[in-house]
Amino acid sequence: MSIQELGAIGEMVGGVAVLVTLIYLAMQVRQGSVTTHRQMYGQAAEAISSFWMDLARDPDLLDAYLEMLRPDHQPDSPGARRGYLVFDAYLSLLESFYLHNREYGERLSQERWQRVLTRLLTTPGGRTYWARRREYFHEEFATYVQNLLEQGAVRSP
């Protein structure tokens, strides 16, 4: 076997090694990306849980939140304004959760929070809130929520 033949074989082996290395690296990057997105999903779900726990721990905050949902609420009253801020925080969490799920396809508990969201926004105060605040959210999320409400994806209580 000549040196040229050995060199050709070495180049082929080197090319195959580079190809195997690139495939391995692509798999590692993909796995790291999936892990990162699952961690983000977990953090978002944890933040939503924390929101409800914080609301349960603070009776004044809970009262403001519930006042905003009541049929007879006055949207400009101090309690309703505070309730709007609480609801802004909650919907912002759901918006992030929705956009993350849309991007990465994880639907682990989306049906549950769709029901919660629909029920909250079909209360008289929730309808008023959504009519006044819809424009503050990402258009895709706002359209998604609007479709949930219009299609009756989940029946209101």
Q: With respect to residue 2, please indicate whether it lies within any of the assigned structural domains.
A: no
The pLDDT tens digits of the residues spanning 132-146 come to: 889 988 898 899 889
Tell me the DSSP string of 82-95: HHHHHHHHHHHHHH
122 is a domain residue: yes
The count of structural domains within the chain is 1
Report pTM.
0.53
Q: Is the per-residue pLDDT at 121 higher than 80?
A: yes
Residue 116 resides in a domain: yes
Burial-class residue 98 by CB neighbours within 10 Å (0-12, 13-18, 19+). buried
Please write the tens of the pLDDT for every residue from 11-43.
888 888 888 888 888 888 877 777 777 777 777
In a domain, 135, yes or no: yes
Helix or strand run (H / E) with residue 29 = helix 3-57
Residue 42 is assigned to a structural domain of this protein: yes
Domain of residue 113: give its range.
37-151
Rounded to an integer, the average pLDDT of 8-12 is 86
pLDDT at 157 over 70: no
How far is the C-alpha of 155 from the C-alpha of 157, rounded, in Å? 6
**Alpha-carbon torsion, ordered 133, 153, 46, 82, to 10 deg:** 30
Q: In the chain, how many H helices and how many E strands?
A: 6, 0
| The dihedral formed by the CA atoms of 22, 24, 29 and 35, expressed in degrees to the nearest 10 | 170
For the segment 47-51, the average pLDDT, to the nearest whole number, is: 80
